[in-house]
Amino acid sequence: MKSWQRLLLWCASLLGLLGVFSLYLRPDFMRDLADLAWSCL
């Protein structure tokens, strides 16, 4: 794997993780996630 491909993969992974973690800062998303978890039990 070339170095620019590896850098691109790291940047894409970091952006994906930042997107997921930013959802946890929204209380309405956390409430929906909790409701989904309880509905599966």
Which range of residues forms the domain containing residue 23?
3-39
Distance CA 8, CA 2 (A): 10
Question: Does the CA dihedral 8-13-18-20 come out positive or negative?
Answer: positive
The residues, any chain, with a CB within 8 Å of residue 10's CB and separated by 6 or more, are none
Output the pTM of the full model: 0.61
- Structural domains of the chain, count: 1
Q: How far apart are CA 2 and CA 14, in angstroms?
A: 18
For residue range 10-41, list pLDDT tens digits in order.
Answer: 999 999 999 988 988 888 988 998 899 999 86
